Structure 1
C-alpha cells in the first residue's frame, strides 16, 4: 500500500484556489534524430482515485482511496498521445501502456498581486492508461498491478478491490457535455477541407449518453507519477524540493546527505 507524499497536501490546497485548475505540460518528441519540445495547457482532473465530486455527473468515482498520481484526460488521436509514445489504430482493449518523462508546472498567483505567487514544478513519468484495465493482455495486467501498488485505502488494505472501469467512466462523466462531445469530433488537426469523416462535430454528449461508443473509444485517462517536486514561493523567497530516496534525481543533484526524509521522499530547502 502506497504512502501519501509529504508535498501533496500543500499542492492540492494551492490548486483549489484556482478558478480553473490548469497547468503547463512539457513533453519532447523524437523524429529523425531531432528532439522537438512541446508545451501545452491542460486541466488538472484531480489525483487519481480522488475524483472531485460533481453534482452533474451521474457516475461517481471510487471512494475511500487516495494516490499521488496527477490525472488528466486526452484524446488518443491527438499529437500529445503520440508524443507520449502512443500508437494510433490499436484496439482499445489491447492498447499498450505508454510512458514518457514529462514536467508539469502550476502557477498560483497571489490574490493582491498576480505577478507574485507560488510555482510548483513536477517531474515524472506519464502513463496513458488502457481503456480496459480488466483485459488479459500482459501489458494491461502490469499497468493494473502498478496502479494497485500506487493506491492507498483509508480503511487499510491494498487497492485490489478498486473499480477501474467505474473510475474511467466517472472521469468521462465529470467532463462537460460539450467537452465529452469533442471526443467524437473529426480527427484533430485534419484540414477541414477533408470533411468530417462521418463524425458529428460540435455535438454535446448528455449525462444520459455516457456509453456513447465513438467518444469512449477516443477518450483516455492519463496519470503523472511524480519523481521530483519543486516548490517556489516568491512571496517569502522560499524554495523546497522533494526527491524520492535512492532516485536518480537524488543522486544527480547530490542531495543524499541533506534535508530530511519523510517516507520515501527527501525534502531539502534550497536557495531560490
Structure 2
C-alpha cells in the first residue's frame, strides 16, 4: 500500500509547458497553492481540494547533497505520512514509491514520457532520436522515460463536499486540516468538519 495514500497524486511530464507553475522545474520541490475539483455524477457530489502541490522527481533520493526542494518535499509530505505496517517499514523509500507510481501506469503511458516535447511544432523534428510517439516502455528504470517522469502530490489543507443529490435540499461541508491536536468544532480524525450554506 502506498505511503502517500492520504494525498491526491498524479503524474506529470517534466517537459510540458506550464509545469513551472507548480514551482521547481527540474527536481523535487514545490509547495505552491493548488486547487482540484472532481464531479461524481452518480452521487451528484462535487469535491474541491485546496492545498499545496509538491513535485517528486528522481532526485528525491540519491548520492550527493539534497537540494532545498528535496528537503522541502520530505519535510512537508513526511509530516502527514504514517506507518501502515511496522514490518517492512525499513524497506520503504522515496525512490521505491516513485518507481511504484511509474509501474502502475501502462507500458503505453510510460512510453509517452519518451514522446517529442509536447506543444512543439510537428515541423520541428525531435532533437533527441529516442523521442518518438507510440513507444511502449516495460523497463521500470528506462533512463529517458524516468528522466521526464514526475509525481505531483497534493497535500490537502481544505476539502469541500457539495451534495446536490436532492436539489431543493443541497448540502455543503468544509473539512479543514487541524492536525492531531485540533479541538475546535466537530472533528473527524485530524479534520474539522463544518456545514456551510451551499
- TM-score, normalized by length of structure 1? 0.62
CA contact (8 A) 1:148 1:160 kept: no
Q: Quick one: structure 1 residues 147 and 160, their matched pair in 2 at CA, closer, same or farther if it must change by over 3 Å?
A: farther
Q: Secondary structure at the match of 2:58?
A: coil
* Distance (whole Å) between structure 1 residues aligned to residue 98 and residue 195 of structure 2: 38
**What SS does structure 2 have at the residue aligned with 1:99?**
strand
- Aligned with residue 202 of structure 1, among 105, 112, 133: 133
Are 1:178 and 1:202, in contact at CA under 8 Å, matched by a contact in 2?
no
Q: Map residues 38-49 of structure 1 onto 2, 5 A cutoff.
A: none
Higher relative contact order (CA 8 A, sep 6+): 2
- Seen in structure 2, the aligned counterparts of structure 1 residues 176 and 66 have a Cα distance that, compared at 3 Å, is closer
Shift of the 145–271 alpha-carbon distance from structure 1 to 2, 3 Å rule, reads closer
Question: SS of the residue aligned with 1:153?
Answer: coil
Corresponding residue number in structure 1 for 2:174: 241
Indicate the SS of the match to 2:187: strand
Partner of 1:171: 101
Task: Name 2:187's counterpart in structure 1.
Answer: 261
Instruction: Give the corresponding residue for 2:57.
Output: 130
Partner of 1:79: helix, strand, or coil? coil
TM-score, length basis structure 2: 0.82
Is residue 2:149 matched to residue 1:223?
A: no
Helix, strand or coil at the partner of 2:131: coil
**Counterpart Cα distance in 1 of 2:81 and 2:147:** 26
User: Which among 117, 121, 143 is matched to residue 48 of structure 2?
Assistant: 121
Deviation at 1:96, TM superposition (A): 4.5
Find the partner of 1:152 among 82, 101, 104: 82
For 2:141 and 2:178, locate their aligned partners in 1 and report how far apart those are by CA, in whole Å: 43
Q: Deviations over 1:170-193 (max 9, x none)?
A: 111111122111111111111111
Alignment counterpart, residue 102 of structure 1, candidates 31, 34, 59: 34
Matched position secondary structure for 1:154: coil
Give the whole-Å Cα distance in 2 for the aligned partners of 1:132 and 1:66: 18
Partners in 1 of 2:150 and 2:82 — Cα distance? 23
Which blocks of at least 5 consecutive residues in structure 2 are unaligned? Answer: none
Deviation at 1:66, TM superposition (A): 5.6
Which deviations, in whole Å up to 9, do the C-alpha atoms of 1:83-129 show, x marking residues without a partner? 21233xx4xxxx2512321111111112xxxxx71110001110011
- Report the counterpart of residue 7 of structure 2 in structure 1: 69
CA distance in 1, matches of 2:145, 2:102: 9
Q: Provide the aligned C-alpha RMSD in A.
A: 2.5
Deviations 1:17-74 (A, max 9, x none): xxxxxxxxxxxxxxxxxxxxxxxxxxxxxxxx63xxxxxxxxxxxxxx4642111000
SS at match of 1:128: strand
How many residues are treated as equivalent by the alignment? 187
